[in-house]
Amino acid sequence: MDSLFFDFSFLHKKLQELMREELSTLREVFDLMKEEEHNHHSTALINKKAVSLKKTTINKRLKLLQKERSCLTKTLSQSYFCETKTTHFNSVFFNKIIEKDEENSLETFHLRDQIMHFMKCIRQQKERLSQLKKQVDHSPAG
């Protein structure tokens, strides 16, 4: 096995680790948003502040993980294409890069699909929370 593939395989496994951590963090964000929705009508300001602080911390960690994933994907892209190509998460180039490592590609695609699913769920949850906030702001008692 050539050393370039070994390096590629090592980087690919590192990417999978980052993706697992990102997925776990997305789940935390989603769970926190569900908690926020559940506690929306609560008058306990302390609880709302605690949730807000926790959300800020988790979002910072998520942004860092996404940045690391993006950098690692660029590195994989350069090792595969010998030049920089657009390798965002759901691109044809990303697929080609990951397919190179047949043994690990299925797991990577599965992780990507789960991450994409949670990102969609989080967007929908943000919309629900926004609607709840609008309802409370426009209610006669609000």
Yes or no: say if 84 and 74 are a contact pair by the CB < 8 Å rule: yes
Give the Cα separation of 41 and 92 in Å (integer). 45
Instruction: Going from the first residue of the chain to its last (142 residues), give the mean pLDDT of each consecutive group of 10, the final group possibly shorter.
Output: 66 94 96 84 69 90 94 82 67 84 91 96 93 76 50
Please list, in sequence order, all residues whose beta carbon lies within 8 angstroms of the beta carbon of residue 93, skipping any fewer than 6 positions away: 77, 81, 85, 86, 87
State residue 95's pLDDT score.
Answer: 87
Give the Cα separation of 25 and 59 in Å (integer). 8
State residue 66's pLDDT score.
Answer: 93
State residue 77's pLDDT score.
Answer: 82
